[in-house]
Structure 1
Amino acid sequence: MDVDLVDHDYYARHGVPHEQLRLLRANSPLYWHDGDEELGWPGFWAVTKHEDVVHVSRRSDLFSSYRELALFDESSEEVKSLQRLMMLNQDPPEHTRRRALVNRGFTPRTIGTLEERIREIADKLLDEAATLPQVDFVRDIAAQLPLHVICELLGAPLEDRDKLFAWSNRLVSTDDADEGPLAALELHKYAGELAARRREDPRDDIVTQLLRPDGNGDFLTDHEFNLFVLLLVVGGNETTRNAASGGMLAFFENPGQWERLTADPALSHTAADEIARWVTPINLFRRTATTTVELRGQTIRENDKVVLFYASANRDEDVFDSPDLFDITRSPNPHLAYGGGGAHFCLGSHLARLELRILFEHLARRFPTIQQAGPVTRLRSNFFNGITKLPVTL
């Protein structure tokens, strides 16, 4: 079978290879994908069915994020030793401890208190966008909302959002191998300075909360806190930005759904989840088998690379009726855009849903005749399913 699920250039030209994934779900749901010696990565098992993505996600004992890291690309031992300090690349019990400490700032109740502030931010951004001669939905709206919210969460000066945006872009860039580590160092230092300021001047923000010991006296070390900020800036910015941009494009391509939303903006509640399912802003994560495992009649051997394709799981015909139909009233909607459950379920899922719901509710009320005004360009990445440019007229 001639399948390539990781070609960055394909993603830049076309987006997620849904036709290939559909073929695999029907014929080879657990598919051995050949590696590329020239690019330096081995073959891997492509997991394409919803049920299997959930299974692998929930069995950290069998499929490790720590052993060879959670990102697709191979890393040197030196890089792996550093990356394993990040929660994304940890397994229980260390991951469980770290997650419990940071969960304090991301409970549904805590996030719910941000709703009115996020509404204010959304209106302010739309006011500003309306004054621009040309509007790029990605740059001027989709990227700005999560950046403003992250500054709000961190208690960081709003004028720092451009730095956070630049660091985030450099961290996920596939064009320059040196940029990511440099950006990580700069952001790590920034987080340390932010923590130092909060220790001297505690405030009612997530930074102050996370720097305090929990009920058992446990706390994040300086290094753990800095790495968490790095993860928050990338995860909280890139995913919501890409979901919002991809969601707007989905409405342009499905104008009937936009008419439904403008007629009843309260549908933004279910629309937020359908946007997440449809776009699936994070396409894949990697796990590594810790022992020999049988799955779908195939033998996965210890240390085999196992890659979860969330975009495929979110179009699984066994789970979703008419999966290739964008339907903002879809309910239930058991999508895996925020992960397949288990230890690594997205910490910011409540916040992402809230941001998407508010943004599209406000857009539908204020700019019901928004239109696409030029061609779309896509991110050159097999990891983030992203759009880099989407011209619109409000």
Structure 2
Amino acid sequence: MPSPNTASRPVVPPGIDLLDLDRFRDGEHHEMFRRLRAEAPVAWHEHPTDAGFWNLTRHADVVAASRDSQTFSSEAEGVNGFVTADELRAVGGGGGSDLRGLMMLYTDPPKHTRYRKLVNTGFTPRMIRLLEQHLRHRAHLIVDNIIERGACDFVEDLAAELPLQAIAEIMGVPQEDRRLLFDWTNRMIGIDDPEFVDEDGSGGAAAAELYGYAHQLADRRREDPRDDIVTKLINAEIDGDRLSETEFDFFMLLLAVAGNETTRNTTSWAMLALLQNPETFAALKADPAGLMDGAVEEFLRWASPVYYFRRHVTRDVEIGGREMSAGDKVVLWYISANRDESVFADPFTFDITRSPNPQVAFGGGGAHFCLGANLARMELKLIFEEIVERLPDLTLAGPPEILRSSFIGGIKHLPVTFTPGSRRHS
């Protein structure tokens, strides 16, 4: 339905449709965002059945909104740009509850700050350093598992594994159950993709299965407490109250999705970019010690695995030279900010020597800056160190299959071949 009082609002130019998921799957979104940055960097987009929404496409505006959670709320109307409250309730597992105010991602300070403290201990720099040697060994084993074969699906066999194993370790999920997380998060994130969509089309069934598993795991940790996040959460208190079952469920959902989807997809997009830019791949293989840290930042900029988050305007405000009204929805497009020509020279060139590289793949700063940023960087570094050393002639063996989504930038499958090699460990 048309939104009220929109006559004076600059609308997206003709030919741009940010609701067309096929255009994201087919890679056409980059051109749409290039036009928006040039022609209408803060623009209004109508919605056929709901209120329309503003779009921030330039780096400076995305960062400014990210750092002002009082004006740009995550809690008031959720962070998914194009879903209704009913759809939020479905992903929340039914029962009349949606995610707003109950999942950390869907809260504002001070509630967000209290929630975040509950899981911070699993992601401190000290904890990441303690994990590094353990995950380095796991990276060895992940390559061991495919190196004798000479071919694999890079996404499922390589990119998915280290993030899954790391988040399972942190959460306290037994390693033999990690692929359950892979299946559930695919079905929740892939609700608009025919390969992953649940029968009800909402992701609610996958969420319910995850919650049921989380309850069983919590019961085991009450009997056998360990140094993991599940044990911390079942014993945690906020303002003197223990977490409700719903709050615990939503913590588990967030950790499962954020802990594996984003790093898996960054790994996949980075590998595809290296294969499509063989001179860059050769340079990284020749000097991984000197180039890897910078390469990881470019991997993150290039992939921008979360394309956007939405905010709800709490007061009349001007941003990017445009007046927004209290109650408006505004979408922060990280995928566009990471290609902003005013910040990144030649933004459509994949350049692992790019410096500075103020990418916003972890958000634009502020309260919601990604809790797992250091973990993700470490995982990317470890797996690509293994790849450049042990799979140096890795070659694309077919076209990538891209997730149909405007929210998560995902690669579903990436067939590759390589010269078979030897395992590090028997």
Instruction: Report the TM-score, using the length of structure 1 for normalisation.
Output: 0.94
Counterpart in the other structure of 2:67 = 58
Superposition pairs of residues 262-301 of structure 1, within 5 angstroms = 262-266=285-289, 267-301=291-325
What one-letter code is carried by the residue in structure 2 that aligns with 1:277? R
Superposition pairs of residues 124-273 of structure 1, within 5 angstroms = 124-132=141-149, 134-175=151-192, 176=197, 177-213=200-236, 220-266=243-289, 267-273=291-297
CA distance, structure 1, for counterparts of residue 227 and residue 117 of structure 2: 20
Identical pairs, percent: 51
What one-letter code is carried by the residue in structure 1 that aligns with 2:62? V
CA distance, structure 2, for counterparts of residue 303 and residue 388 of structure 1: 36
- The answer to whether the 8 Å contact 2:191/2:201 transfers is no
CA distance, structure 2, for counterparts of residue 87 and residue 181 of structure 1: 19
Per the TM alignment, residue 212 of structure 1 is displaced from its structure 2 partner at its CA by 4.2
Unaligned runs of 5+ in 2: 1-12, 90-96, 419-426
Per the TM alignment, residue 119 of structure 1 is displaced from its structure 2 partner at its CA by 1.0
Distance of aligned partners of 1:216 and 1:5 in 2 relative to their CA distance in 1, 3 Å threshold: closer
CA distance, structure 1, for counterparts of residue 208 and residue 312 of structure 2: 27
Per the TM alignment, residue 213 of structure 1 is displaced from its structure 2 partner at its CA by 4.5
Query: Of residues 4, 24, 29 in structure 2, which corresponds to 1:17?
Result: 29
**Structure 1 residues 90-112: Cα deviation after superposition (integer angstroms, max 9, x where no partner):** 11121111012211211111112
Per the TM alignment, residue 182 of structure 1 is displaced from its structure 2 partner at its CA by 1.4
Unaligned runs of 5+ in 1: none
2:98 match: secondary structure: helix
- The answer to whether the 8 Å contact 1:98/1:220 transfers is no
- The answer to whether the 8 Å contact 2:118/2:232 transfers is no
Please report the RMSD computed on the Cα atoms of aligned residues, expressed in angstroms: 1.9
Which region of structure 1 is more displaced relative to structure 2, 41-50 or 210-219? 210-219
2:332 match: secondary structure: strand
2:331 match: secondary structure: strand
Per the TM alignment, residue 296 of structure 1 is displaced from its structure 2 partner at its CA by 2.3
Counterpart in the other structure of 1:352 = 376
Per the TM alignment, residue 198 of structure 1 is displaced from its structure 2 partner at its CA by 1.5
CA distance, structure 1, for counterparts of residue 257 and residue 406 of structure 2: 16
Per the TM alignment, residue 165 of structure 1 is displaced from its structure 2 partner at its CA by 1.0
**Structure 1 residues 18-56: Cα deviation after superposition (integer angstroms, max 9, x where no partner):** 122112112211011222x2xx34321110011110111
- The answer to whether the 8 Å contact 1:104/1:210 transfers is no
**Structure 1 residues 101-140: Cα deviation after superposition (integer angstroms, max 9, x where no partner):** 2112111111121111111111111111123363010111
Counterpart in the other structure of 2:51 = 42
CA distance, structure 1, for counterparts of residue 357 and residue 364 of structure 2: 13
1:189 match: secondary structure: helix
Distance of aligned partners of 1:78 and 1:27 in 2 relative to their CA distance in 1, 3 Å threshold: closer
Instruction: Report the TM-score, using the length of structure 2 for normalisation.
Output: 0.87
CA distance, structure 1, for counterparts of residue 22 and residue 78 of structure 2: 24
Count of residue correspondences: 390
- The answer to whether the 8 Å contact 1:240/1:352 transfers is yes
Per the TM alignment, residue 360 of structure 1 is displaced from its structure 2 partner at its CA by 0.7
**Structure 1 residues 253-284: Cα deviation after superposition (integer angstroms, max 9, x where no partner):** 11111111100122222211110001100101
- The answer to whether the 8 Å contact 2:42/2:55 transfers is yes
1:91 match: secondary structure: coil
**Structure 1 residues 285-344: Cα deviation after superposition (integer angstroms, max 9, x where no partner):** 111111221122222112111001001111112222222221112222111000011111
**Residue 94 of structure 2 corresponds to residue 83 of structure 1:** no
CA distance, structure 2, for counterparts of residue 198 and residue 172 of structure 1: 28
More helix by share: 1
- The answer to whether the 8 Å contact 2:171/2:228 transfers is yes
1:151 match: secondary structure: helix
- The answer to whether the 8 Å contact 2:74/2:311 transfers is yes
Distance of aligned partners of 1:123 and 1:331 in 2 relative to their CA distance in 1, 3 Å threshold: same
